[in-house]
Chains A and B, each alone.
Chain A
Amino acid sequence: MQLSCNNVSHALAPLRRIALRVVFLACAFLPCGLAAPARAQGRAYFVAYDHHMEEPGALELSFNPALGVPKDGNKFLGAWMEFEYGATGWWTSEFYLDGQTTWNESTLFTGYRWENRFRPLLREHWINPVLYLEYEDVNEADKTIKDVVGFDSGRDLEPNDEARHEREREIELKLILSSNFKGWNLSENFIAAKNLAGEAWEFGYAVAVARPLTLAASAEDCTLCAENFRLGLELYGGLGDWHHFTLSETSHYLAPVVAWDLPSGVTLRFSPGFGLTSESHRALIRFGVSYEIAGFGPRLARMFR
């Protein structure tokens, strides 16, 4: 009986994978019928946050796969689907669905995250703080590596079959400090995360800088022109935990970023990241495609009036 159940389970595995993808895509494109697209530009970074909030009522859809090349173990593709909504001018809320596929292992949905960013100062300053609060419910097989905290390591990765049974419910706090100067954006993120199972607070950081290739826009619409490209650099890693606030035995990554804002409203991003310490993965190659729908909230509300 056990054998036959296993056989059925194996036979259904490809179907499950397809169903997962269909749900993922449906979640991604269902809202597209509700509103007209806008051509605002999202942030260039994958890991760090700046102080720019989503426009009120706008919904940004973003799909971000990350190809991981560990020093030992199987390659993996972690991905998150992001729904970013501008609740007000000073409050942005984001919901994430995470999944991953590991070479020679399996493909699985790993959990969800819900984050909120609040901008306490309503005007531009030299340094603009943003407060970030996140709740995540993922299993240990999650490989999106959206940020690095504590002693997160690329070593000794557990196989999916074992890791998927261990749930991690965490809250994460960030203080985001961001400045704009002569077209440059410089952002520093200080991260504190706590596993609600009673583990110690873990710390991490992300620092990023980015700039458009040209600052002024041209008079004509163009696709492959310098004004549509932004280049940046991200540095992020763990800082140990409450008991050992340290850089040693922690993972750190340096990742150039390029973002391309297409006239159609789609933003494409690419970032080859490189592990800097023995605990880091060898490489994390990230891709991102995002699309913003302006006025999504008001149009949705109108449908229910």
Chain B
Amino acid sequence: MRRTSPTCTLLATLAILCGLSAGQSDNSQPPSLDPALARAPAVAATWINPYAGQDNAARAGRKLFERHCAECHGQSGQGSERAPRLAKASVHNAPPGVLFWFVKNGALKEGMPAWSRLPDQRLWQIVTYLQTMTPEESAKTSP
């Protein structure tokens, strides 16, 4: 009987797993959104922020933002040469689920890391904070 080599078995298993992981749907948002956010699947717009309107969550989100995001996006989201301004209307008015999806997945080709290493709860806290940023305040400090 012919034996299958362990490497072949391993590679076949891995190919199947990679195929499974790649086979998810990828419906895009309507074009009214910021182009970067429009990459989120349509279903993301229906996700509800469990912390919406909670002051504590926004404060926790601010702490997380300063820890993980401010180096590129600026302390108050005013942006820098490395990353765009976040305190703007298209972020403020975006569906929270779309922001959540974007922060979690990032835009790896453009240099925005995927923050899936943080638990969903912390990502929602960041989203809560992002949506408290007012575009007017940012415009004053924007470079």
Binding site for B on A (CB under 8 A): 36, 38-41, 43, 50-53, 55-57, 86, 88-90, 119-129, 175, 177, 180, 182-183, 185, 190, 192, 201, 203, 212, 215-221, 239, 242, 245, 294-295, 298
Contacts and interface: CB of A to CB of B under 8 A. Distances in A.
Interface of B: 5-7, 10, 14, 17-18, 20-22, 24, 26, 56-57, 59-61, 63-64, 67-68, 71-72, 82, 104-114, 116-117, 119-122, 125
Given A294-B71, A295-B71, A119 B108 contact: yes
Nearest to A241: B6
State the majority secondary structure of interface residues on B.
helix
Contacts, number: 125
Contact of B119 (A123, A212, A218): A212
B71 A219 contact: no
B7 to A, nearest CB: 7
B108 A88 contact: yes
B128 to A, nearest CB: 11
5 contacts: A119-B108, A122-B109, A177-B14, A180-B116, A295-B72
A124 B108 contact: no
Contacts of B18: 120-121, 127, 129
Contact of B21 (A36, A38, A129, A219): A129
Contacts of B114: 52-53, 89, 123-124
B111 A215 contact: no
Contacts of A52: 114, 116-117
Contact of A215 (B108, B110, B121): B121
A287 B67 CA distance: 24
B106 to A, nearest CB: 6
A55 B60 contact: no
Nearest to A89: B108
